[in-house]
Structure 1
Amino acid sequence: MPTLFSRIIAGELPGRFVWQDPVVTAFLTNAPLSPGHTLVVPRREIDRWTDADGALLGRCMEVARAVGQGVQRAWDAPRAGLVIAGFEVPHLHIHVAPVWDMSDFDFGRAEPEDESALDDAAEKLRAALLELGYDQARDTDRG
């Protein structure tokens, strides 16, 4: 049975994509820690990040770094936070979000965001990624 993330990637469920390449995608979470909170997800289903081969994990981290640069630029954040928790969905995913201090990592504060705010955040992040030279942010309307 496909994971929730596989269904988003396949276009069966909505997603606000900010990155597409043959191996990895990135899309905004609908319950962000802060505007721009993005999930970096391999297309291939792997439950635990510790089970990913080095090449795949390396590619996920490269994309997470790019998205991190984008969220810092788009929200003028001093840092891009990165978390691999692995409990919410059994499909490897890396949380990347603009952060200002340690309290920004409190997942208990994550709340569902309204559609227009998510759309605006996705556009803002795509624009920042394109400014940084990441063409993978172009044409990301669908997985």
Structure 2
Amino acid sequence: MSDERRGAYAQILLIPTRWADNDVYGHVNNVEYYAFFDTLINTWLIGEGGLDIHAGETIGVCAESSCRYFASFAFPDVVEGALRVGHLGRSSVRYELALFKDGMEHPAALGDFVHVFVDRAQRRPTEIPPRLRGALERLVVP
């Protein structure tokens, strides 16, 4: 079990599970954890960083992701998603994520996710825009 706790993260977002998230074994399927990670990250980027996913010149593409599972969720659980930035570069960011069950101090899952920001048209790495960088800097936990 990891020693990561809620207080080690900069942002918490509540994500309700859906009936369709459960698989035939009666728990949330492993692929849904990656959807929770996407929801956590993109909610922050759009809401706080002003990322324009439809027409902005800069977009984030996933370069790497991973998940370690410790406990399962099942509908109708509410996932407490935790987010922080582990490394912020010129054109990339590594997020560290944790998914908690209500009332549990240790995470049910831990994840890493790397975004590389690229020019939408050329798909070449580009510097993270100032507003977006400012939002990401607020997620850095010393």
Q: With structure 1 as the length reference, what TM-score do the two structures score?
A: 0.28
From the two aligned structures, give the one with the greater helix fraction.
1
From the two aligned structures, give the one with the greater strand fraction.
2
Q: With structure 2 as the length reference, what TM-score do the two structures score?
A: 0.28
* Larger Rg computed on CA atoms: 2
